[in-house]
């Protein structure tokens, strides 16, 4: 993708679907320095409809994610089996659906291929999947992409369960939690994903519960920008499954705030060179506003 390919020829514009024309005229493509997640509802969004469950916090995170990309017109998103792909595949950004667990392997190859094909252009790659796709079945692919210092962002939307296959426990389910496929409670601790990411070589790591849109937007943007120059970045986001955990739709935000206080408090790690790089970028952006 790119702005040149998105813009329709003047003679054809009037024949295109209204949603497409509105996305070009009033969407974030080429205007991400002016439009971001803090202005949701004021511009045409990249993803507006999805078939996910009512009250799904993962769908909310995906919405904010797309509104926070620094260059959505030059971004490719990768996913795998799981709830997230139901919303990711509805967006006006290229989406690659890999086999279950190989998301980071595909992202590695794609990142390298884009660098060869477009050596003078910035193309961002983001792998976004659930706890099963990244920390259980996809664990090896995830870890080895970090060991190799692949330059793309990995985002885990952690609902702490296999949400669309019957409610099995995952490695990210909290210890002791009772689920349909774990009626006596999970026997072992939650995988320390962010600590593994740091030890494996990620140059930027963040953990959050999506309660603060401005902070979410900043974290996503920072992760993508850092990955361009320095190496793998990782975001661990709590996105509750209100169905399997029996959270009333109107209480999902309350639950997110409670988990933020309990065990999903905001954490952010970055190397010294990444910190300096991001501070310089953010200083320039602030001066230009």
- 79, part of any domain: yes
88-141 pLDDT tens trace: 999 999 999 989 999 999 999 999 999 999 999 999 999 999 999 999 999 999
- 44, part of any domain: no
Contact 80, 103 (CB under 8 A): yes
Q: Kindly give the parts of the chain with pLDDT less than 50.
A: none
Phi, psi at 77, each rounded to 5° = -110, 140
User: pTM of the entire structure?
Assistant: 0.95
- 110, part of any domain: yes
Domain count for the chain, please give it: 1
- Residue 118 domain boundaries: 55-288
DSSP, res 8: P
- 207, part of any domain: yes
- 34, part of any domain: no
Instruction: Give the Å distances, CA to CA, from 221 to 5, 189, 215.
Output: 23, 31, 10
Contact 259, 209 (CB under 8 A): yes
- 38, part of any domain: no
- CATH of residue 202's domain is 3.40.50.970
Instruction: Provide the token pair at 149.
Output: 């210092």
205-224 pLDDT tens trace: 999 999 999 999 999 999 99
Assign residue 58 a region (left: φ > 0; alpha: ψ between -120 and 50; beta: otherwise).
Answer: alpha
Instruction: Provide the token pair at 78.
Output: 């990768």
- 237, part of any domain: yes
How open is the CA angle 233-235-240, to the nearest 5 degrees?
160
Half-sphere exposure (Cβ direction) of 41: Cα atoms closer than 13 Å:
2
- 27, part of any domain: no
């Amino acid at each position: 993708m790119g702005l040149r390919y998105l813009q329709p020829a003047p003679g054809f514009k009037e024949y295109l679907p209204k949603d497409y024309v509105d996305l070009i005229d009033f969407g974030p493509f080429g205007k991400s320095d002016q439009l971001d997640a803090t202005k949701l509802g004021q511009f045409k969004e990249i993803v507006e409809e999805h078939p996910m469950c009512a009250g799904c916090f993962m769908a909310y995170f995906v919405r904010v994610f797309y509104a926070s990309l620094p260059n959505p017109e030059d971004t490719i998103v990768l996913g795998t089996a799981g709830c997230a792909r139901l919303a990711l595949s509805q967006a006006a950004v290229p989406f690659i659906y890999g086999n279950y667990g190989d998301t980071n392997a595909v992202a590695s190859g794609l990142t390298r291929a884009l660098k060869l094909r477009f050596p003078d252009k910035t193309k961002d790659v983001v792998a976004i999947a659930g706890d099963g796709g990244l920390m259980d079945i996809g664990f090896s692919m995830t870890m080895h992409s970090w060991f190799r210092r692949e330059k793309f962002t990995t985002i885990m939307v952690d609902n702490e369960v296999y949400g669309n296959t019957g409610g099995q426990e995952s490695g990210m389910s909290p210890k002791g939690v009772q689920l349909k496929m774990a009626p006596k409670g999970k026997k072992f601790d939650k995988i320390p994903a962010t600590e593994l990411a740091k030890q494996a070589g990620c140059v930027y790591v963040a953990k959050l519960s999506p309660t603060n849109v401005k902070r979410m937007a900043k974290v996503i943007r920072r992760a993508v920008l850092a990955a361009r120059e320095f190496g793998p970045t990782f975001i661990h986001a709590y996105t509750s499954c209100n169905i399997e955990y029996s959270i009333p739709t109107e209480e999902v935000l309350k639950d997110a705030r409670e988990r933020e206080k309990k065990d999903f408090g905001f954490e952010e790690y970055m190397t010294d060179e990444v910190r300096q790089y991001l501070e310089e970028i953010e200083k320039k952006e602030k001066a230009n506003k």
